[in-house]
A and B are shown apart, each in its own frame.
Chain A
């Protein structure tokens, strides 16, 4: 049976840590994304043609939102579980009457909450620079929750795998960020010539950005159902891997 008090304790403890580091956690990503909007949205975007009938400034909003969601969900969750391992306080978690479900709901839930709050703030900030509207707001909300959860699970795995702070940054910086940039954040995949277009379709982030863009504008590079399936598949793979970690006690219990 789910231990709700324990789950709440882990969740609120993680959010409290977020509040303590609110400047770094909130201001830095908002500032970075605002700079993207200023440069690509307002400055360069003014000179760019509309893409599929969407003004360039508005076109990059879902991509930049995805960039934030992916990097923040991953780093929040990886840092959240890595810190107790680093400080040694993980003993308390492992000796408490909590199982994988409580730990995941607490850590992954808190990491996803943080990145969703940040995404909401960035979305509001974007309104200061560009004009946009969301065609399917409920679907958009569900989709970002799904993305935040999937990548928080990935971050949790990274936090278990990492044996140092350097490794924590490895996947977000060397894999996620480049794939997101090349995944259609600032352009439509349809703008690419072959064979680059074909190569881009091998990038899984393309499907995620495209899916979110569809919820905003009702049109995208790939059908929304394909994006949704890709996201659910990724979520299932991460959940399976986390389940395996808890079953074997890998890097958690000796």
Chain B
């Protein structure tokens, strides 16, 4: 079964509050036969930021669409706020906000009218004060009377967020929220998202920027070809799957790994000129090994001219999973 698979070390679910969103065995096969979601199961905890990672076509947007009502699942079950989505779809949708990947709105309308429309559409009474607060928090208040077509791309994306927040959702889906925005705005968005989490909003985001997930997410899910390959706490994932890589450039090439280093995960590359260490656990153990390795080389009288050391990023972990899945599929 392809479902949520937490690695050892993840916080046990029974110690926590009931999930705010629960997806069980969700499958979506499109009319043409393409399998977009393959028996996906996932639990989202209240108040967390959950990042859904995956290459194009992994099924991230389809999964979001299925929860938000844009996609009709072929099979499976969705529960939100403890209620079945199929039976209580009105109540559920009223508490969920969606910021889509594509910019889509009436560009000839003003910012203020559009956020008012969004609030009304979700059945909420007019609340000018609240909408003002939303627009101010997104630095859009000064642009409230501007036609959306006159705004920059970044501003337009903020309008989408303002529209999604207008009805005060408890769960907010952000589908590639920072796609196509500059670095400064991306950082600003991160601050906004952190602010929403502080207000108790549960956030589920998809992103291509692994740095984004690394920066913000509490938990991470990796999707590939419609399947959810892994779900884990970010720190736990980094700790379990993170690696340290260190390259010692030796003055004198070696023919074989010396016996005093045999207990460490090292190998010789570049004709014996580089001693390569790959190991650790993403929680500092690798750095300790590198220090030990440097000390032992010094004791053995093997001199080196440089050490290049790097910790594996979430991107490395992500690629590791996707590559492994690709190999399995072949």
Contacts and interface: CB of A to CB of B under 8 A. Distances in A.
Interface of A: 3, 5-6, 8-10, 12-13, 16-17, 20, 83-84, 87-99, 249, 253-254
Interface stretch (B115-123, B181-189, B251-259, B284-292): B115-123
A254 B104 contact: no
B209 interface: no
A253 B104 contact: no
A96 B122 contact: yes
Given A5-B124, A16-B113, A91 B70 contact: yes
B121 A96 contact: yes
B287 to A, nearest CB: 46
A89 B106 contact: yes
Interface in B73-110: 89-94, 96, 98, 100, 102-109
Contacts of B71: 253-254
- The A interface, classified by DSSP as helix, strand, loop or mixed, is helix
Contacts of A98: 121, 123
Question: Which 10 A-B pairs have CB atoms at the shortest separation, nearest pair first?
Answer: A88-B104, A9-B120, A97-B90, A95-B68, A97-B93, A97-B94, A89-B104, A9-B121, A5-B123, A96-B121
Contacts of A93: 121
B93 A96 contact: yes
B123 A13 contact: no
Nearest to B163: A92
A12 B117 CA distance: 9
A88 B72 CA distance: 18
B96 A95 contact: yes
Contacts of B120: 5-6, 8-9, 12-13
A6 B117 contact: no
B125 interface: yes
B123 A87 contact: no
B69 interface: yes
Nearest to B95: A97
Contacts of A5: 120, 123-125
A6 B30 contact: no
B109 A97 contact: no
Given A88-B102, A93-B121, A96-B122, 11 more contacts: A13-B113, A20-B109, A88-B100, A88-B103, A90-B104, A92-B98, A95-B93, A95-B98, A97-B122, A98-B123, A254-B70
B74 to A, nearest CB: 11
B226 to A, nearest CB: 14
Contacts of A84: 104, 106
B124 A87 contact: no
B122 A89 contact: no
A9 B166 CA distance: 13
B62 to A, nearest CB: 8
A183 B319 CA distance: 67
Contacts, number: 88
Most interface-central of B93, B102, B118, B120 (chain A CB within 10 A): B120
Interface residues of B, number: 35
Contact of A10 (B72, B96, B108, B121): B121
Nearest to A99: B90
B55 interface: no
Contacts of B65: 254
B100 A6 contact: no
Most interface-central of B65, B91, B104, B118 (chain A CB within 10 A): B104
A19 to B, nearest CB: 11
B98 A91 contact: yes
A228 to B, nearest CB: 36
Most interface-central of B89, B94, B123, B163 (chain A CB within 10 A): B123
A92 to B, nearest CB: 6
B121 A6 contact: yes
B263 to A, nearest CB: 56
Contacts of B103: 88
B113 to A, nearest CB: 7
A43 B122 CA distance: 54
26 contacts: A3-B90, A5-B120, A6-B121, A6-B123, A9-B121, A12-B120, A13-B117, A13-B120, A13-B121, A84-B106, A87-B106, A88-B102, A88-B103, A88-B104, A91-B70, A92-B118, A92-B121, A94-B68, A94-B69, A96-B121, A96-B122, A97-B94, A97-B123, A249-B72, A253-B69, A254-B70
Most interface-central of A9, A91, A99, A253 (chain B CB within 10 A): A91
Most interface-central of A9, A12, A20, A97 (chain B CB within 10 A): A97
A17 B106 contact: yes
B69 A9 contact: no
Contacts of A92: 98, 104-105, 118, 121, 163
